Chains A and B, each alone.
Chain A
Amino acid sequence: MPLTTVQEGRVYDWSHAVGRNAARGPGFNYVQSMCLGKNGFLYATNRGNENNFGMHVNKVQLGRGPGEEEHIADFFEYGEGDGKCTWPFGIAVDDNYDVYVSDDWTNTISVFDSAGNFLRKWGKPGSGDGELNRPAGLAVEKNGNIIVVDSGNNRLQVFKPDGTFVGKCGGTGSGDGQFNQPWGITLDKDGNIYVADWKNHRVQKLSPEGKFLMKFGQYGKVEEPEGSYAVTMFGPYVAAQSETAGYPKPGTLNHPTDVAVDPDGDIYVTDWGNHRVCVFDSEGRPICNLIGDAQVLSKWGQQTVDANPDMAKARRRVKSLEPQYRFCFPTAVEFDPATDSVIVADSQRNRLQIYKKVRDYSDFQANL
């Protein structure tokens, strides 16, 4: 189980995990999406559930390495009225540090300041211009406009920060530029748009004007390999034969949820249903896959275990902790150029897994 992935001139080194299962406070609760703000802050939308009603946004200071994470604030919690949510989904931060969050049940976009104070909201249900149907991912353009993945209407809509409708593109279908319940979105340094076309099992790249440029990915999944350990009924499968036997071939996707692009143009896709992050080059050619390597507990996770001796005792009796290392339905991915980090929201495990893209890697002596 190597912690370093080396493939085609790229090196990804597993760094650390952040998080634990928590409805509020330090931890996460079924992250649907996330975004990086300024100064190393990360914002995540948490779906919660109908027992803990832990729907909220949390703001976390990631720091530069293991153990530096700090929980800063929770806001946009479950409830009715301004500043409250039902189903928080997409999230983005603009240059003024304002935070935009979509709610895919109330069909609204709420705006908060960086401390989580409610500023304004817009949106109403429908399919007309400016109307929303299950809004998902959000992105902020260089000019400050907000792109909303209007998932139920299978289109993108652009709004000014005050909610004024600017434009739209897309439509229902599987053709170029069409969508089927899209989820996440990101922009590259040139403003090109990448959309995780969830039920079409692909990623589409559009120009800043919304013109179709490229698509990549095709549907693929694996059946449970013989003798493997199914972490859930839908995988991941920890296969006895080899580390990769539980995953489909490169380039295939199963309900992709999010995209990130690094400064080199490499593209990261959370392949949700296949429990991995697929790395593609700028032309959409598959490079390698990250499957989750959390061999060390997160800081908050370790605190939980330390406070529960029975958990610690049980962990020492487990034959293999490998199922815990793996991603389980990862929903969101970000690339942080400041730290060369690939940050993955490992949704069912309520944590982030962070990899470093190592640029000056030199191989070790083979005869060690």
Chain B
Amino acid sequence: MAHQDDIALMAHLMRRAGFGAGRDELEERVKKGYEATVEELLHPETQPEVDAYTLLRYQPASLLPGGQPPMGNVNWMYYLVNTQRPLEEKMALFWHHVFATGNSKVDNYDQLLEQINLFREKGMGNYRELLLDVAKNPTMIFWLDNQQNHGTAVNENWGRELLELFSLGAGNYTEKDVRECSRAFTGWTFETKIPRAPYGRFPWKFEYRPEDHDDGEKEFLGHKGRFNGEDIIDIVVQQPACGKFICRHLYNFFVADEPQVPAWPIEPPQDQKAIDTLVGAFRDAKFDMKPVLRTLFNSDFFKNARFKHMKSPAEVVVGTLRLVGGHELPKPGIGELSMQPTYMGQDLLNPPSVEGWHTGKEWINSGSLMARINFVAEKVGDTSLPGVQAIIGRLKQRGSLSPEQLVDGCLDQIGPVEVGADTKQELTSQAKEWGQISWDNGNAQIADQRVAQMLQLIAATREYQFG
């Protein structure tokens, strides 16, 4: 049997680099080894792809969902729940937080899904290449109005956000740099798409219009030349601020909660040494993300950061669905299920602004907390679901359970989750009201219910909101 510390560490890795794992999977992975698991996560191509054809057989409208929810959300939720490449999907979520585009303006979930697919395919590749692809991505072009950025009439929206939110962070460029950067991206636009009526959606296609590009000399971040957009990206990624900005994002997303992005120019990172380590890997790998992620997941600062990260709504919902099982096929009702993160404050494919979501403790308010607890409680309380049955089955093997054993067993099987003494006492006092539970002598149904109820209570604790 795997050592409990190894299980807890593996659970931590799978929560952060994926969306959690059941106990059977954790034990298999512990046998395989921590670093070997990191390598598997970093090489998604070694695992099967999601079977998109099954999704399209049962929910064909999720392919080109148009502008109304929930079918776009259905598409991504199906991938999130079914993927055997969890880090690939987690990186798509990460990049869509950094390069945030939203359906509120784009009004084309199909275009947003195409962008998610870009993050899926290139999210662990080279950051420079990804940034270039994002600059050419029609969804981003429309989101930040670059189709209105003309050689004779500059629109600075894309140019500004490229520097402020996608690469350097505020304070690391001047207003003149914004202007010059924007000039370099004039003429980067898209072809007129076939409109939605009468046959549904068609995609945009990137188009470079040289006649609309300002080919004059520009001065940008100390460099002079007749720069085009790609030249700007080459200059940007070489800036020391770029690595610091991207690596702080990585730290905030994978390791421990940082302040919100607008505060970064005035609030230093909580672990500067960790950021420096990541920046070194980023620079040495010439902006290749995989070595940075390898450094991150194998670091002590990551391993020691258990439960220092507030689960995002996507992590709450997807983690729960993968834990309890039974939601792999796109059943009727998947639309409502796919909107659950929205009800908790994270509308997938529709972040509130170009800044992405505010994370950490800002995920929590009285409404979102209730939504989180109710959702998880409903799922872990359903003893017909295979993942809940598996938890019950493992506890049942112990014959009968004292109140303390019930609490410890449930905390272990649903996480393992670590709780404080007060919480433990609260849980135990409830378990004591139920007394010893046993699956003998016709008590099985009650025992099953007690396990499910304890899981529900755990889901309602403060500690369970952290991952």
Contacts and interface: CB of A to CB of B under 8 A. Distances in A.
Whether A associates with B in a native complex is yes
Interface of A: 20-21, 27, 29-30, 32, 47-51, 86-87, 105, 183, 198, 229-234, 255, 273, 297-298, 300-302, 304-305, 308, 310-311, 314-315, 317-319, 321, 323-324, 329, 347-351
Given A86-B332, A319-B191, 14 more contacts: A20-B199, A30-B60, A50-B59, A50-B335, A105-B332, A229-B205, A255-B53, A305-B198, A311-B196, A315-B194, A318-B191, A349-B200, A350-B199, A350-B200
Given A255-B53, A329-B56, A324 B197 contact: no
B197 A21 contact: yes
A273 B53 contact: yes
B42 interface: no
A50 B330 CA distance: 11
B21 to A, nearest CB: 28
Given A50-B334, A87-B332, A300 B203 contact: no
Most buried by A among B52, B198, B202: B198
Interface of B: 52-53, 56-65, 68-71, 74, 110, 113-114, 117, 191-200, 202-203, 205, 331-336
B202 A231 contact: yes
A20 B198 CA distance: 5
Contacts of A105: 331-332
Given A51-B69, A323-B202, A329 B63 contact: yes
Contacts of B197: 20-21, 301, 304-305, 308, 311
B198 A304 contact: yes
A347 B59 CA distance: 12
A30 B331 CA distance: 17
Contact of A298 (B57, B194, B198, B335): B198
A177 B66 CA distance: 40
A301 B205 CA distance: 24
B195 A49 contact: no
A169 to B, nearest CB: 23
Nearest to A50: B335
A232 B63 contact: yes
A318 B71 contact: no
Nearest to B66: A51
A21 B198 CA distance: 6
B195 to A, nearest CB: 4
B61 A30 contact: yes
B58 A87 contact: yes
Nearest to B56: A329
A324 B63 contact: no
B196 to A, nearest CB: 8
A314 B113 contact: no
A223 B74 CA distance: 25
A29 B198 CA distance: 12
